[in-house]
Chain A
Amino acid sequence: MMNQSVTDGMYKRGIYRIEANERLTPAVWRMTLAGDTQWITAPGQFVNIALAGKYLRRPISVCDWDDRHIVLIYKVVGEGTEQMSRMKAGETLDLLTGLGNGFSTRNNPRRPLLVGGGVGVPPLYALARKLLEAGKPVEVVLGFNTESEIFYEEEFRALGCSVTVATADGSRGVKGFVTTAIAEKGLDFDYFYACGPLPMLHALYNAVKQDGQLSFEERMGCGFGACMGCSCKTKYGNKRICKEGPVLEKGEIIW
């Protein structure tokens, strides 16, 4: 199949049927879609969703997937995601899948730390699963603003991760940011993977000595490298967040 794709072109666009669309917190939803998942090759990749009446697609990171299902966790932040939250099981969506590079586990960390902030948490779930399957002890730090916004704490625990939660207002877990939790708990790790808002990524980058990978967000036009809308400069040259990203190595980042 993969060999064929090189000559015949990769089929990455498909119609997916919504199997479930449920609320996890006041603003965060989980959507389970059924359809072709062959193009998803790494945790941290994303899909780009066409919505009726909206001109541009909505890029949403993949939380988890199997042979026939994609799980997306998204936050209602605007009209597009609000429209998604109103969709019901049985309705269909047009998706481009397998976009972006995703997290790489090729460096084979001994004790990986996964750091997620808010709606940056979801792509770490499939990564945690993959690392656990490879026999790694997975340490997870999840940061939220407040207790009511927490999601997937138990799901990570159920996978077998060691989970620490931090809330900015102290309503649950460590009071403060993910960096506070890492310092307070004295977490032992040799490599990290992170996804979250830019200030969190930057603070983490400055706070830890270890090497790692960070997943970035940017406003995108196409999601597959054509429009040059989401370019950034790195130490290895210009990259597109949608194509050579969204995951960048710590060593290449220029803030």
Chain B
Amino acid sequence: MVEKQTIQEGVAPQVDTSVELCGVRLDNPVVPASGTFGYGNEFKDFYDINILGSFSFNGTTREPRFGNPTPRIAECTAGMINSVGLQNPGIDAVIRHELPRLRSFFRKPVIANISGFSVEEYAYCCERIDKQEQVGIIEVNISCPNVRHGGMSFGTSADSAAEVTRAVKAVTTKPVFIKLSPNVTDIVAIARACEEAGADGISLINTLLGMRIDVARRRPVIANAMGGFSGPAIFPLAVRMVYQVAHACRIPVMGCGGVQSARDVIEMMMAGATAVQVGAANLVNPYASKEIVEALPGEMRRLGIERLSDIIGIA
């Protein structure tokens, strides 16, 4: 109540929520995470998504993919497991249909999440997306836990992570973020390898490999048994890994994992994130990202933050 009055009376200074990510200016650091926001279309039916900093579209591969068998979803305490398996219409359909449609309701640069099953596929998709004006940043997903012979296998060794990074950097002039898996022994070593291979930034974390069992049926809930665990339960792990990587690398970090409030965004930034992704929260509350953007200025005033970019890595 008191805080509200302070805002209304204009006692608090104007706050600046903008951040800069490899030359791309975002009005605010809030970025819906890949796999939870489609290509924007479902959410424009709920609100004007131009309020967002940007968003990262669904993991896109060279070929169209149906993904994994269903059930693909399992509920958990403070989170969920998904085993979607990179369902997407393929890079051609994204360029031909999704991006033109997106242009009709989203004016800002979008983050293109690219997945693959070989180094060549990553390079091919990134080369295609490089020519798309609306794409501001490419996010290379080497951390999907739901596909075999690809995805996460590139993100679990420093050598292959660096190999993908080099291949992608060779075919695009857009900033390249590599999205890392938490399902590794030493995430810092992999982040450093990506940085040395030329990555412009690091996104972390993707989901944690998890599993639930339906005890009445005595079988895994998910058809593929295991899937990626996300939601507020993983927030402390994400903060820790963002902190470790941000302190070990010079390139910017997009933090991701369990964020569901403006305060979480600020915490993630204090850990070292320049932008902050919101994932599973969008699925339980379609307005989550919008509400976080709207709550940011008030939360900044409460915490005495004038410029959000001042707090990056301050912890």
Contacts and interface: CB of A to CB of B under 8 A. Distances in A.
B36 interface: yes
Contacts of B80: 55-56, 221
Given A13-B286, A13-B287, A226-B37, A238 B66 contact: yes
Interface in A196-254: 218-222, 224-233, 238, 243
A57 interface: yes
A222 B283 contact: yes
Contact of A227 (B46, B48, B82): B82
Contacts of A11: 46
Interface of A: 8-13, 50, 54-57, 96, 218-222, 224-233, 238, 243
Contacts of B236: none
Given A9-B44, A9-B46, A56 B66 contact: no
Contact of B73 (A96, A219, A238): A219
Nearest to A94: B285
12 contacts: A13-B285, A13-B287, A55-B76, A55-B80, A56-B80, A56-B284, A218-B71, A219-B71, A226-B283, A229-B71, A229-B72, A230-B73
- Residue among A8, A10, A57, A227 with most chain B CB within 10 A: A227
Nearest to B48: A9
Nearest to B74: A219
Contact of A226 (B38, B66, B79): B38
A76 B46 CA distance: 30
B231 interface: yes
B46 A12 contact: yes
Contact of B283 (A9, A219, A221, A243): A221
B282 A55 contact: no
Contacts of B75: 54-56
A209 to B, nearest CB: 29
A184 B260 CA distance: 56
A226 B42 contact: yes
A27 to B, nearest CB: 14
A230 B72 contact: yes
Interface of B: 35-38, 42-48, 58, 66-67, 70-80, 82, 84, 87, 221, 231, 282-287
Contacts of B70: 218-219, 229-232
A96 to B, nearest CB: 7
B78 A55 contact: yes
Contacts of A9: 44-48
A197 to B, nearest CB: 14
A54 B74 CA distance: 12
Contacts of B74: 219
A97 to B, nearest CB: 12
B43 A226 contact: yes
B288 to A, nearest CB: 11
Given A55-B78, A55-B231, A221-B73, A229 B286 contact: no
A139 B111 CA distance: 53
A238 B38 CA distance: 15
- The prevalent SS among residues of A at the interface is loop
A222 B284 contact: yes
Contacts of A230: 70, 72-73
A230 B38 CA distance: 14
Given A226-B282, A231-B67, A10 B78 contact: no
A225 B42 contact: yes
Contact of B284 (A12, A55, A225, A232): A55
Residue from A10, A57, A226 whose CB has the most chain B CB atoms within 10 Å: A226
Given A226-B42, A226-B286, A233-B66, A55 B79 contact: yes
Given A9-B48, A220-B73, A226-B282, A238 B87 contact: yes
Nearest to B65: A238
Given A231-B66, A238-B87, 7 more contacts: A57-B284, A218-B70, A221-B73, A225-B42, A226-B283, A228-B35, A243-B42
Contacts of A233: 66
Contacts of A220: 73
B67 A227 contact: no
B284 A228 contact: no
User: 4 closest pairs, A vs B, by CB?
Assistant: A222-B283, A229-B73, A219-B71, A225-B42
Contacts of A219: 70-74, 221
B200 to A, nearest CB: 28
A54 B231 CA distance: 12
A229 B38 CA distance: 12
A225 B38 contact: yes
Contacts of B43: 226
Nearest to B77: A55
A229 B45 CA distance: 19
A219 B43 CA distance: 21
A79 B42 CA distance: 29
